[in-house]
Structures are given as structure tokens and as C-alpha cells.
Amino acid sequence: MGLNSHSAYLFILWTSHLFLLTAGDSRVNPRIVTVPKGERRFSLEKHESLTTLYHEENSTSLFVGAEGKLYYVDFENSANYTEDFPKEDSRGCTKPEDQKNYLTFIGKYNNTLLICGTNACQPTCWKWAARKKTLVYGQGLAPFVPDQNSLVLVDGQDIYSTISLYQNNGKIPRFRRVRGAVQLYTSDTVMQNPKFVKATVVKQDESTEKIYYFFREDNPDKSPEAPLNVSRVAQLCKRDKGGTSSLSASKWTTFLKATLVCVDPATKGNYDWLQDVFMVPSDKDWRRTRVYGLFTNCWGYSAVCVYTIGDIDEVFRKSNLKGFSGEMPDIRPGQCPPGNDSTPLKTFKIADSHPEVEDRVQPASPRHRPLFHNKNHYQKIGVHRIQAGDGHTYNVLYLVTDKGYIHKMVEMPQGVLNILEIKPFESPMPVLAMTMDHTRAKLYVSSASEVVEVPMDMCEVYHRSCDSCVLAKDPYCGWADGKCVSLKDNWTALQNMTLQSSQEICPYSDSKQDSPDNYLNVTVALFSRYFLQCRTESHVATYMWHHNDSHIQTCPSPYQPCIHYIKNMTDHHYGRYTCVSEEGGVSQILVREWLVKQPQPSQTLMQKSQAAATSLSIWLGFLQVVTLVLLFQ
């Protein structure tokens, strides 16, 4: 895949912002940087430090929970409202800054919307129906104060949570069942200082459903070369009824954990720190459910490793237990007991004292490589499956950077293509939360001051030509009637994701447009300085300048604007200039300028001063570019 690490950094000047790229892994740098097209925005009434999003699949609306407020917006018909959720009283907290009601959870439970908040250290939930709230018990569903370690998972009648039930004791984080079947919690010895990342339920067959949750914890291996943190997946049986002895009656009896491995085999670089997880279910076979794990390393660089639930399940079913050499009981640790049975005491005792399996979970890709890695610091991941015009289904990754941008990447058979950097907010701000609508192909992101609905099919950004539209390899987009359009609007639009050259499908080529009318005529004085500038768009293309149809310059790097500098205009410098990009055997003309000699004898004083001013400003612009290029080289 050519994703090897290099130490060279290049800073790029790009529409007024600077960002960092590595020379080595061009595949993972975005081709195009854009602000959204066709997006819809909704401003929050005040600056929010915390937002929680709730969006129902295939709906047009979004709920946003914030401090003391619930926002509702329907982006389709502009309906919106704000409802206050003040704290009910203020007896709970010792610190004055906690005397607020932070809404931390919104979700459907038992057919009504449940909204939960800290309520000044007295966690409370409200049922929200017909714009009326009814207070319900909130213990275990919202934390006492906002924290980063609160997961809530609703599955049918059951609710699972990692939130402590009491404010002053129970400091050891646990994974619990807090509503529905009998309440259970994890033994305090099975995890060390866990930071929970994601939880999910996978239905394996009619009688077996398993809960998987992902977390980081302190590495029990304290040797100096061992990383401080390890990333884990844990499993539990949904029908776990707790132990049979009085001591184990409220404990999960089917807990096991395994290490998730994410190592680049080329550099042996470890990505130990799990940041986020996104599950892509498979309709046909639960084993093929894909688990996208986003990891960072100690430098803050990122990697995505993809696992399957089938591989995870196999590790739990077959591996030995770490530190256990005795005989395995008939019902193995981690096995869901048949029917309504409880886990035998003997099995529970072994599992409880040996909760970690020996085998580690490796990525499903060939040679267990990460899907990709690069030097961005990503914080969140979302994955959307989309059928392209070629009939194949592609996984499109949306990765949120620490700068508040979104990188859109397509998983291709030979690797990942980073096709777009989206700047969702008007000024760069951290993304507080992200969710998506798979049916309507929308992304929802929130910042401290707004929520934005971003269409995944922003095809207008590749508007320039059939070549730029087709070569973008954006599975949502194709070329039809002189425009780059969403395949949703025209299923027969031209597109081919495996294409090497767009000439195969594009009806006309750029060279046919080479009439003088398409040139920008520029009058330049003899013996003056001039420079021609071409904005580079794709990081995998080559850029060059042609003069009167002959090649005069190839730019060394696609990361900087391609500049042709003329120190002293002489007669042979006049004529036609074109900036040409070449990518995958396809060339496109990006700039056409026709330099015309200034008629010298008829020059008036007025024209002279204008020309001087023009050439001065051009010269200053050039100086600026040169300075930046030199500065950052």
C-alpha cells in the first residue's frame, strides 16, 4: 500500500490555512480541501462545552442535548425549538461549577425518548413526548458530573452503562446492566483503570446474543519496554443471569477480555491507544460484522485497524486463559450457558480469576496490517457503506481530526484513498460529536456553537470537468449533462471506480477546448517580471507548465502551488501558457494565460503608473509565496 513512514514534513499553503502532511503516504492525504456544499446549519443559543446528539435513522431531524437545554431541529423543513432543562434543585454538588444540568444521554427506550442529565449531581432522566417532560429515575443513566467515561447502551428492554450509581463510593468503573433483566456488574479485579470507548450487542443466533465493549486500560505488563496502555475488547452474554453463589449473584459470569493488536508490520510501530470504534454490520453473517478501530500512538499519529466479530468470537472461544494451566470445565469460561441455565460456579471461578485470554485479536486484513496510518491525529470515526455506479459496495470512512476537519476516505481493494478534507464549521473548531444517517447519506457534526448537516454526496466540489469528477473516485458522484452530480439524482451518471484513465468514459477531452477565447489575456511590459501560478488540487497528480505547446517546467512537489517565474520578459516569453495536471494517464488543463506585449510607443503616464502598480502587486504576491515556500521547506 506504500504507507510507509517518512520523516520529511511539508507545510502547505492552501486557501489560507496551513496543515501538516507526510511525504511518504500520499494516499492518505486528501486530494481536495473544501467547505461543505449544500450543508445546513443551526446555531446554538450559547457556547456549549458538551453536546450529545440523537438522530433517528432516515429521519430529517436531530436532537442536541447541552447544558440545561435541549435543541431540536428538522433540517428539511426548518422547524426547530429549544426546551430548557434546568436543574431541579441544587443540593447535590460540592463544587459550584457542577450545579448545572448537563444533558449527557438522549435515546429511545420503550418507544419514548429518554433524556438524561447530571441535574446538579442528582442524575435524572425525563421522558420526552409531545414536547412535555415527565421525570423518571436516572441512577446509572447519567453521571453526577460530566466525564469522558460514560457509556450508555440501550438494547430492547435492557440498558447497559458504565456510570457509577453512587457519588462517593463505587469509584472503580464497572460495566453494568442497569435496566431490564437482573442488574449485574463486572468484578472489580477484571479491569485496571478502564476508559470505555464503545459498546454494542451482536445477535449471533436465536438463542445467543453477546455484548462486546471496547476500552483501554493500564497494561498489567509493567516492564520498561511495554506500553503503558492496552486496548481491549470484552465480551458478555446478554442472557447472563449472574452467579449462583451469594458473592457472585450480581456479577457477570461470562466476562472475558482480549487485547486488540494494531501494529504496522513495516515499521513495527505500535498503535496502542484506542480512540473510537465504529461497527459495520453484515446483513448475511454476523461473523462478518466489521469493527473499525481508530488508534493513536504516543506521537499522536493515527491508524485504523479493522477486525471482524467472527475473529473476535473465535479468540474468545478457542484461546487459553492467560495464567491458567488447569483443566477446562465442560462449560468454558466465556461460553453462554444453554437455555436458561446459569454459569456453573466452577467455570465462573476460573473466568473471574483469569479474565484475559492469551490470544490477541489481529486485524482481518492481509498480513494483519492496519487499513492505513498517517500523521494526523484523528479523534472520531464513522463508516458509511455505499453502492457505486459499478455495482460494487464501498466503505467510506469519515475521520474527525483534532483541528475540527473531516477526512473522507474510500476503502479500495489496494488501499485507502483520502479524497476530501471537509471544513464543516465556518471557523475551525473542535468537533464535539458526530453521527450519521446511512439511508439519507448525511453527516451530523456539532461544535460549541452550531450543528451542521453535511451531505455525503457533495459532488459540486469536483465540478470543473468530467475528468476531475471521475478521477475524484468519489463513489457518490458521477458526470452527467456537463455537471458532477450525485448518483442518487442520476443513477446512470458516468463513473468508474476502478478506472485508470478518465478518457475511457469522459465524452470529450480538455484539449478540444483549446480555443483563444478560453485564454485569459494578460498585458505584460517588456523587461518586466512576471509569474504564472497554478493551484495544485490533487496530491497524486503531476503539475507542469507549457509554453506555445512545448513543455517548459515540471513542478517538483504537488504540495505547493506550481509557479513559473519569468525574471525579465523578452520577446520570446510572450504567447500561450498552460498549466497541465497529469494523473493516471489523464491530463487536464487548469490554467490558460496568453501573455501579450504592452504596446510601448502609445504609453501614457497614466497607463505607466497603472502597469507599475500592477506589476508591484504581482511582485509582492510572488515574494509572499516564495517566502512561505522557503520558510516551510
Residues lying near ligand NAG in the complex (CB under 6 A): 42, 58, 73, 78, 80, 110, 157, 179, 195, 227-229, 272-273, 298, 339-340, 390, 439, 480-481, 490, 492-494, 496, 498-500, 504, 516-517, 519, 521, 527, 547-548, 568, 571-572, 574-575, 594
How many Å apart are CA 439 and CA 11, to the nearest integer? 38
Q: Which is nearer to ligand NAG, 570 or 633 (CB)?
A: 570
Task: Strand 69-74: give its sheet, edge to edge.
Answer: 52-54, 61-66, 69-74, 80-84
How many Cα neighbours within 13 Å face the side chain of 141? Answer: 25
Phi and psi (nearest 5°) for 378? -90, 150
Q: Which is nearer to ligand NAG, 182 or 228 (CB)?
A: 228
Q: What is the four-CA torsion angle of 453, 70, 123, 98, rounded to 10 degrees?
A: 90
How many Å apart are CA 254 and CA 342, to the nearest integer? 10
> Could you tell me the smallest distance in angstroms from the CB atom of residue 460 to ligand NAG?
15
> Could you tell me the smallest distance in angstroms from the CB atom of residue 18 to ligand NAG?
26
Pairing of strands 406-412, 393-401: antiparallel
> Could you tell me the smallest distance in angstroms from the CB atom of residue 453 to ligand NAG?
9
> Could you tell me the smallest distance in angstroms from the CB atom of residue 144 to ligand NAG?
21
End-to-end CA distance of the chain: 26
Closest chain position to ligand NAG (CB): 575
> Could you tell me the smallest distance in angstroms from the CB atom of residue 442 to ligand NAG?
12
Q: How many other C-beta atoms are found inside a 10 Å radius of the C-beta of residue 4?
A: 12
Q: Which is nearer to ligand NAG, 431 or 452 (CB)?
A: 452
Q: Which is nearer to ligand NAG, 141 or 494 (CB)?
A: 494
Amino acid at 617: S
Extended beta strands in 298-414, E state:
302-308, 372-374, 378-387, 393-401, 406-412
The partner residues of 41 in beta bridges, in order of sequence, read: 452
Q: Which is nearer to ligand NAG, 73 or 303 (CB)?
A: 73
Q: Which is nearer to ligand NAG, 354 or 547 (CB)?
A: 547
Q: Which is nearer to ligand NAG, 496 or 614 (CB)?
A: 496
How many Å apart are CA 242 and CA 337, to the nearest integer? 11
Q: For residue 211, which of 172, 181, 188, 189 has the smallest C-alpha distance?
A: 181
> Could you tell me the smallest distance in angstroms from the CB atom of residue 103 to ligand NAG?
20
Q: Which is nearer to ligand NAG, 267 or 521 (CB)?
A: 521
Extended beta strands in 242-351, E state:
256-259, 263-264, 269-270, 273-280, 290-296, 302-308
> Could you tell me the smallest distance in angstroms from the CB atom of residue 296 to ligand NAG?
7
> Could you tell me the smallest distance in angstroms from the CB atom of residue 154 to ligand NAG?
11
Q: For residue 443, which of 507, 383, 361 has the smallest C-alpha distance?
A: 383
